[in-house]
Structure 1
Amino acid sequence: RNIRLGAEREISDWERTFWDAAPTATQDCVDRVQRLLPTPHFLVSITSLLQEKDGDVALQRRALRLLGERASEIDPLPSAKASLFLETVPDLTNLLGGNISCKNGEGTDQDKSQQARRNIVLQQAALMAIEQLAGHLCGESSSSEEVSVFVPSVSKICTLMADATDQSSNDHDGDEDAIRQLLSSASLTAATLISILKVRCLPFLPKLIKPLLSALCFANKSSTKDGVDHAAINILQRAIVRCFVAIVETLPQFLSPYLDAILSPDTLLSQPIRECAKDDSNMAALIKRFDEGLATKVPPRLLLPAASEVVTRCLDDKGNEDNVYWREAIAVIGIITISIRSCSRADLPSVIVKVMSVAMSSFSYSKLDGRFELLDAANKALLSLVMKMSEAQLRPLYSRLREWRGDLVKDEDDNESSIRRFSFWSMTAVLCKELRGIFLPCMSSVVGDIVQELELAVSKFCTDSSGRTKSASKRRRVSEEESVNIENLESLRPIQPVLLCLETALKADAHEGGEWIRAEDSQRYHKILKPLSKLLLSRIPESFPLIKDRSNDKFSSYEMLIGGKLTLEYGNVGGCMTALSAAAGNEQLWKPLNHAILTACGHETRTEVRRVGISALLSVLRTLGEEYMILLPECLPVLSELLEDRDEGIARMAKECVQLGEELLGENLAL
């Protein structure tokens, strides 16, 4: 009081400097005196300060801070000093019962607001002290009786959080920043107490989870608004997630009744939380712990039914695109994937149905925004399941997916069919890439479907202006600028994953000796080669939707889909031709393939076709090497013409083919 009076009088500059520094110096002296006191005397002085009804809030706050700091300097339980410090917990718990609403109490509105603010400050200090006492003094060696002193604190925290969430959502005239800070402190304290008390917190779980979720939902909505303290909101989000991490890691077997609420798209799965994790390493670590804890500690038979329902709800727009939570669905699918990887084979019967439900919901998603990200997440989940299964289990599962896909519908307006086909072939390509030769028996069941998809592409991409399919012998010559007009290109989008699937299967078959492609007396080979050969001469609309490595303004759609420019990892005709030649394995099967490539190389009017043709020939020569030299004489006339092609790239690749042939034969070809 004297310091404040001195500061108000007319004083010199050096006196003002003194009075400005005096409060801090005085507090430092008090702190040092308190530290010099023996532990019993120190605790008595602290307790007496806390029990004063109308005490100085600032002084009580400093006393609580000092209590927490001094607790961190002593040995944990079962030391005698630790037991003495824990005797202060009931007094700290009593401080959590003050009113925090500016509408309750006596006096004017200003008096109510000031009293609520003082209570919040004191409660926050008490929470921090409780958290420090629990964190520093209670370890794994602490007995159940010793830590039971914190049980009433959990009850008070539940009540306090319920009041604070009501205050933050209903009373916009209050101190929202102070409420957020209080909720943050309460969440962190609750996390520490849950980790220590474990099953003793079970009776309070319903009272704790509801306000936690309400507070997180409110924080997530506030984070998207302008004019709010985003740093404070992020702190609150981290604190709540930290509390849920403690719940998941400590009491996972009791979370079944709350899984629907915990996995709500507005709370822990929400985009604001996940976006925050991208820029905040601490939040990212907490989210990872939460996802992994939920996936690995909650039994799959409990987690997956709830998770699959959440995915279905997230993707069900019901005619309103604003209700689609595809990003949140991806987060749930990520948790499902981790759960599948950690489950045992004995859990598979209860897992398969739910994972299939999730996969089919994701595969059927029709909105272009988020479709490919969702498809990728669903493929990873399904692959994790397949990796746990035997071949005997895999085949009926794949048959079920094929049945879900349905038959090929040539109606250009049937977008649902094209979406299902695209998803099915993308999934098939992923499985084939990972399982390789093991998956070839499943691929045998869809060879006819692959041929149908290729023939559909031929019927659309290999037509003249009147709509008739061009034959190899009766093509009319057209300029390179002429393009194909197709009304609904989405119906043909599945061709790219079909090509990727086919290329992957052929590579796996080549590694196994080529028996798969030569089955049925090589009829399978010829059925696939025929439409692929026609596609080498096709015309691809520039607006055709392609998946590629990056945005492109250099290559045409033909060069990407047929030639493999920017699409090496996503499916193209050139890659299929090379893989087909490697799997065929003999001269008789190579001859028609070589003829198709040379036909493209000799195309008179379209430079891009010649370029793709010579690129395919060079790729085959590099892949097969000396074995393919038996067909080199058939190639020499075409190569001789291409060496003089006006396109420098074509001439260069033709020269590389000649040089490669000379190296393999050991003689000069003299072209």
Structure 2
Amino acid sequence: MPQTHHHALLLLGSVAGIFPEKVLHNIMPIFTFMGANIMRLDDTYSFQVINKTVRTVIPALIKANESGDGESTAHMEAVVTRIVHVFADALPHVPEHRRLPILSQLMTTLGPARFLWVLLLLMFKQHATQTNATDKDAALERDVEFWISVCCEFEVEEQLVSLIKILKYLMALPQDKEDGPVKRPTRGKGAEKEKAEELIFNMEAHSSKELRHFKFLSVSFMAQLLAAGSFVGMIAACGDIVEDSLQKLQQSLLEEILCYIHTVARCVEENTDKPTGKFWRALLNKAYDVLDKVNALLPTDTFIMVMRGLMGNQLPSVRRKAMELLNNKLQQKTQWQEEQVTVLLDLKGDLLAIVGRGHGQVMEEEQAINRQTALYSLKLLCRSFGSDHKEAFVPVLNQAVEIVVSPEEEKNVMGSALLCIAEVASTLKALAIPQLPRLMPAVLQSLTERKEVLSNEIYMLSAVTALQRVTETLPHFISPYLQDTLLQVARLTRVAEKATAAPQLAVRLASLRTTMATKVPPRVLLPTLTKCYSKMVNSKQSQLGPLMSILKEHIGHMEKDQLTSHQSELTYFFLIALDFRAQHCQGDLEKTKEIEGYVIDCLLAMVMKLSEVSFRPLFFKLFDWCKTESVAKDRLLTFYRLSDSIADRLKGLFVLFAGHLVKPFSDLLRQTNVTKTGGPSRSLSLIYLYV
């Protein structure tokens, strides 16, 4: 019997070349016969008969449909799918050492770029629907190893094309079995093709569980193939000749996996509270695993070009993921070749185009996220390469400032623009000066909107960060905006202290106060501080504390010669500030004590930096100041409190000045004796305390 079978198949192979139509009408019985009989035999002659039949009959089938229209092509694909199905079904019965050569010959004849994906999916389906539960782990490991071997029989380009087609097929499948009739995308002319695809995984013939297993197995295999040593070796061995076509395929594969991730992520959201929620989350993780594996295969030069291509994709989610991959690479990699830097800098145009796509979009929220991601990419590019390519980032600063000055701009996008400005301005230094007249007023104006502090903490953090970096980088050029900056910092510091939900804002504001105190020169800061004090002292007294903290830190940072040259100016300011109790007390002694304490702390910071020769005239000037008749009691109290603080800091050194205070103190005690005055007031009690 086997010999008769052999002769019959050889005869059919010969006839197929002469009368292809006759053979094609009966092609399925021929291959069904092969699968049920010849393929199970383990002898060389049977193997040769199979190969010859495949080589003669299948080309005749393909040739007969080559000149036909789309409908006949779809019919041919359906027939070929059935043929491949026969081989896949017979595979468990084929001797192991014959399996790979038979499938290799079949795919070589059919064209692996066109039909390898069909074979793979049919083998996945067979495993998903027929594997016994007892040895499923061992069977899976064995099958995956075989599938990888089948793939690696063919060129890298053909394997990548197959993976792309598998992803397209998976996206065309319904979420669940019940969704099948509703979800089918093709109708009418595509009906034949749809039938061919249904031959791979017929929804009516399989359960929902088998569908999920099939999907998970398909995606898992892709991740394993892309990480397999044999596949990676083939990628590495590819020469420059195929580099261009390979790059396009890698980009297409990335696009497809990103689209698939987008689809699965939507399914995760829709099935969160359903029993299948766990499956969709696992599938999403596997899809991300595939993405990582594809990304890892890309050489840096190819990676840059592929990311650039993906940024032009129509899907916002694909563009965003491309930028995220770029951001990860920029954060991880520290060494770049000059040619790579040049290509990366060229990405600025693509990123700025995304940033500039503002209003009028269908998905406004998604568009805003993409613009934020693009601004972050520009920030990282500047951090990595800006110091050596300053001129290249001037347009980035201009675009970011355009966003900040636009009153209609979305706040989160504006926050990202401010962080981008912070990075770019600190890198460009003097090149950023032309943008200050537009940038600073816009930022300061937005900070005056009280509701924004609590409603959008991220935006406030971004604005404060931008102010801090600009002040740090260009301290000599912010004098026109310094007063408004100080006023806003003092106000926001108080707001942040009360808003316990915004701890980061308090930290950033402290950093900004330190920057102003240490970077802005005294000739600019001191006159501005005096003006700010005059503005606050009447109506915003609670904000004087942060202002005094800046002055205190500034004095502590001053060089000796700076302090000497500005001592008279500081003395004049302190004589005004120490008069707070006398001029602005309004009966609130606790509040007065607090604000007076801030002023005294600042004055102590200056006193501790003075020599005895410098301090003596200051001390006597303050002593004379407290004797003014009209407000003598309040000034005395302030002076004695100040003297108490100075004595506490100078310790034994204060003996040099204490002698001048003994007589005035004794006179004061005599004048305010309880028996002579009839009982002490609150202020007199405080005087007793400090005396």
Q: Same fold (TM over 0.5)?
A: yes
The answer to whether structure 1 residue 138 and structure 2 residue 359 are counterparts is no
Q: How many residues align?
A: 424
Name the residue aligned to 1:59: 318
**1:72 partner SS:** helix
- Distance in 2 (CA, whole Å) between partners of 1:387 and 1:336 is 14
Distance in 2, Cα, partners of 1:440 & 1:393: 16
For the pair 1:7 / 2:175, whether they are aligned, the reply is yes
2: CA distance between counterparts of 1:453 and 1:222? 53
Is 1:155 the equivalent of 2:398?
yes
Q: Is the 8 A contact 1:362 1:378 kept in 2?
A: yes
**Shift, 1:462, TM fit:** 2.6
Indicate whether 1:181 and 2:412 are aligned: yes
Q: Is 1:240 aligned to residue 240 of structure 2?
A: no
Give the conservation status (yes or no) of the 8 Å contact 2:422–2:465. Answer: yes
Tell me which residue corresponds to 2:353. 94
1:259 aligns to 2:482 (yes or no): yes
Q: Secondary structure at the match of 2:672?
A: helix
The whole-number CA distance in structure 1 between the counterparts of 2:176 and 2:401 is 44
Native 8 Å contact 1:71 1:132 kept in 2: yes
Counterpart among 480, 488, 494 of residue 271 in structure 1: 494
Alpha-carbon displacement from aligned partner over 1:235-275 (angstroms, at most 9, x marks no partner) = 33333222222222222222222211110146665412345
Following TM superposition, by how much is the alpha carbon of 1:302 offset from its aligned partner in structure 2, in angstroms? 1.1
1:401 matched residue in structure 2 = 622
Q: In 2, are the aligned partners of 1:46 and 1:67 still within 8 Å (CA)?
A: yes
Tell me, yes or no, if the aligned pair for 1:76 and 1:138 is still in contact at 8 Å.
no
Q: Matched residues in 2 for 1:266 and 1:245: separation?
A: 11
- 201, 218, 222: which one aligns with 2:432: 201
CA distance in 2, matches of 1:147, 1:78: 18
- 1:300-339 to structure 2, matched below 5 A, reads 300-316=522-538, 323-326=539-542, 328-339=543-554
Q: Secondary structure in 2 aligned to 1:7?
A: coil
- 2:448 pairs, out of 217, 233, 249, with 217
Separation in 1, partners of 2:337, 2:637:
64
Cα distance between partner residues in 1 of 2:447 and 2:374: 22
Change in Cα spacing, 1:396 to 1:268, as seen in structure 2 (3 Å) is same
Relative to structure 1, the CA distance from residue 279 to residue 351 in structure 2 (aligned partners, 3 Å threshold; closer, same or farther) is farther
Question: Which residue identity lines up with residue 122 of structure 1 in the other structure?
Answer: N
Deviation at 1:56, TM superposition (A): 1.4
Moved more, 41-50 or 245-254: 41-50
SS of the equivalent of 1:376 reads helix
Change (3 A) 1:49 1:209: same
Structure 1: how far apart are the matches of 2:458 and 2:550?
24
CA 78–449 in structure 1, closer or farther in 2 if over 3 Å, else same: farther
Aligned to 2:683: 490
Aligned amino acid, residue 393 of structure 1:
S
Q: Is the alpha carbon distance of 1:286 and 1:77 closer, same or farther for their aligned partners in structure 2, counting shifts above 3 Å?
A: farther
Question: What amino acid maps onto 2:340 in structure 1?
Answer: K
Q: Residues 77, 456 of structure 1: CA spacing in aligned structure 2 closer, same or farther, 3 A cutoff?
A: farther
In the TM superposition, 1:566-585 aligns within 5 A as none
* Structure 2 counterparts to residues 209-608 of structure 1, below 5 A: 209-218=440-449, 220-223=450-453, 228=455, 233-265=456-488, 269-275=492-498, 282-316=504-538, 323-326=539-542, 328-365=543-580, 366=585, 367-407=588-628, 416-458=631-673, 461-462=674-675, 488-497=681-690, 499=691
Larger Rg: 2
- In the alignment, which residue of structure 2 is the partner of 1:591? none
> What is the identity, as a one-letter code, of the residue corresponding to 2:439?
L
- Partner secondary structure for residue 388 of structure 1: coil
Unaligned runs of 5+ in 1: 106-111, 169-178, 317-322, 410-415, 468-483, 500-671
Distance of aligned partners of 1:382 and 1:181 in 2 relative to their CA distance in 1, 3 Å threshold? same
Partner SS for 1:88? helix
Q: 1:446 to 1:84 in 2, by over 3 A?
A: same
Specify the code of the residue in structure 2 equivalent to 1:89.
K
Structure 2: unaligned runs, 5 residues or longer: 1-167, 180-206, 213-275
* Residue equivalent to 2:367: 119
Relative to structure 1, the CA distance from residue 72 to residue 345 in structure 2 (aligned partners, 3 Å threshold; closer, same or farther) is closer
Question: Taking structure 1 as reference, are residues 79 and 280 closer, same or farther at Cα in structure 2, changes over 3 Å only?
Answer: farther
Q: Alpha-carbon deviation of 1:407? A: 4.1
Distance 1:425 1:496 in 2: 9
Whichever residue aligns with residue 413 of structure 2, its letter is L
Contact 2:548–2:599 under 8 Å retained in 1 = yes
Moved over 6 A (4+): 278-281
Matches of 1:264 and 1:162, distance apart in 2: 21
Q: What is the distance in 2 between the residues matched to 1:361 and 1:267? A: 19
Q: 1:307 offset after TM fit, Å? A: 1.2
Q: Distance in 2 between matches of 1:453 and 1:265?
A: 43
Which has more helix, going by share of residues?
2
TM-score scaled by structure 1? 0.57
Which 10-residue stretch deviates more, 440-449 or 208-217?
A: 440-449
Distance 2:400 2:490 in 1: 20
* Rounded Cα–Cα distance in structure 2 between residues aligned with 1:257 and 1:250: 16
Aligned residues of 1:212 and 1:240 also touching (Cα < 8 A): yes
Write out per-residue CA displacement over residues 176-235 of structure 1, whole angstroms, 9 at most, x where no aligned residue: xxx3332332222222222322222121122222232233333x53445xxx4xxxx333
C-alpha change, 1:239 and 1:222, in structure 2 (3 Å) is closer
Match of 1:586 in 2: none
Residues 273 and 76 of structure 1, relative CA distance in 2, 3 Å threshold: farther
Offset of residue 64 of structure 1: 0.8
**The residue matched to 1:61 in structure 2 has which SS?**
helix
Residue deviations 1:43-93, cap 9 Å, x none? 2232233345xx211111111111111222323456443333222122212
Whether the aligned pair in 1 keeps the contact of 2:496 and 2:506 (CA below 8 Å) is no
Residues 500-545 of structure 1 show CA distances to partners (whole Å, capped at 9, x for unaligned) of xxxxxxxxxxxxxxxxxxxxxxxxxxxxxxxxxxxxxxxxxxxxxx
What is the rounded CA distance, in whole Å, between the counterparts of 1:432 and 1:19 in structure 2?
72
| Deviation for aligned residue 1:7 | 3.0
Conserved? CA contact 2:551–2:602, under 8 Å = yes
Structure 1 residue 283: Cα displacement:
4.4
After superposition, the CA RMSD in angstroms is 3.1
Please tell me whether the aligned partners of residues 96 and 160 of structure 1 are also in contact (alpha carbons under 8 angstroms). Answer: no
The answer to whether the 8 Å contact 1:191/1:247 transfers is: yes
Q: Which amino acid aligns with 1:66?
A: L
User: 1:24 Cα shift?
Assistant: 5.5
Distance 1:183 1:390, change over 3 A: same
TM-score for both structures, normalised by structure 2: 0.56
Distance in 1 (CA, whole Å) between partners of 2:623 and 2:669 is: 17
1:269–1:332 CA contact under 8 A, matched in 2: no
CA contact (8 A) 2:371 2:413 kept: yes
Task: Please list, as runs of the form range in 1=range in 2, the aligned pairs for 1:590-669 lying within 5 A after superposition.
Answer: none
